[in-house]
Amino acid sequence: MPDSLTSHRPVLAVSLKLGALVLFTFMSALVKALSEDIPAGEAVFFRSFFAIPVILVWLVARGELRRGLVAKRPMGHFWRGVLGTTAMGLTFTGLGLLPLPEVTAIGYATPIFTLILAAIMLGERIRLIRIGAVAIGLLGVLIMLWPRLGSGTPATDAATLGALCILAATVARAFVQIHIRQLVQVDHAAAIVFYFSVTASLLALLTVFFGWVVPTPRQAIMLVATGLIGGVAQILVTSSYRFGQASMLAPYDYTSMLLAIAIGYVWFAELPTLVMLAGAGLVIAGNVLVIWREHQLGLERGKARAVTDPKS
């Protein structure tokens, strides 16, 4: 069984979560900077493969190497890997076509889609408050996507494709959340994290036949850094849920918008539009309503959140 909450240390939990968000956002910026020259499949491979040694060191340090390598549901890990790798590939593709803040904002819709899928696939009951939250969140997604639809100009056509990729990645991550809710019942969180990186590396390696490129030394360093940074970020976010409840930590996810706006402006000269901010605000409002309702109902999503990479 995966870890339960081991102690309530809110300052440490929040610090770990914020550290993970900083690293995930910087990792996304690295992928975006490489996107003009490096295919998405190649970037996914480096992101996944070079996270493996970081995860192994973490498991050894915690004395959980043996337990972390035990997979009671091998096919469950395989399908988690397929879904997660799909989400990561779509996200990396979208990063090359959209501003970083917009990618971040659309990604906030994952909890909304997770709630919908939980009702459909797991039979969870959705009452009036959460129905309202879903409606608010979907309206926000529609507002963000609307400027990207049907303009007909080549530049915007590419942005439309990027928006659709990120939207599809968001839905895929929602499927991951649902899958992990079931997987954590039988397998350790460390095993889920480890085998995802292994599966994603192998699946991404298959894209070599679609035209990888030989990176320059600078690009190679950046690609390796995405894996190392992503691995450390995953460990930080997983560890944060050992010291704080999911309902307490979830609102801090939205600080990544501030980070994305800052990095997007400084690194890529990007500024968010008012329409995007309005849509993002509605999605965040819907998510906060869900978080509040789950807290009221005493629902615990920490186990699933701890092993789901919010930024792939």
Q: Which residue has the higher pLDDT, 176 or 303?
A: 176
| Inter-CA distances, 302 with 121, 233, 239, Å | 20, 16, 11
Is the pLDDT confidence value at 213 over 70?
yes
Q: Which residue has the tokens 């309530």?
A: 8
Most confident of 45-49, 110-114, 161-165, 246-250: 45-49
| pLDDT confidence of residue 4 | 46
pLDDT in tens, 225-276: 999 999 999 999 888 888 877 767 878 888 899 999 999 999 999 988 899 9
Q: What burial letters (b/e) apply to 222-232, b meaning 16+ CB within 10 Å?
A: bbebbbbbbbb
Residues 6+ apart with CB under 8 A from 106: 141, 144, 145, 163, 166, 167, 170
Cα–Cα distance, 312 to 307 (Å, whole number): 11
Residues 6+ apart with CB under 8 A from 309: 24, 84, 196, 230, 233, 234, 237
SS3 262: helix
Could you write out the three-class secondary structure of 85-104? HHHHHHHHHHHCCCCHHHHH
Q: Give the CA angle between residues 49, 42, 76 to the nearest 5°.
A: 50
* Other Cβ atoms within 10 Å of 272 Cβ, number: 19
Is the pLDDT confidence value at 300 over 60?
no
pLDDT in tens, 51-70: 999 999 998 988 888 877 88
Cα–Cα distance, 226 to 50 (Å, whole number): 8
pTM of the model: 0.88
Region 96-114: mean pLDDT is 92
Token pair of 304, please? 């699933």
| pLDDT confidence of residue 21 | 93
Is the pLDDT confidence value at 2 over 50?
no
Is the pLDDT confidence value at 291 over 90?
no
Decide: 277 and 43 in contact? Cβ < 8 Å: no
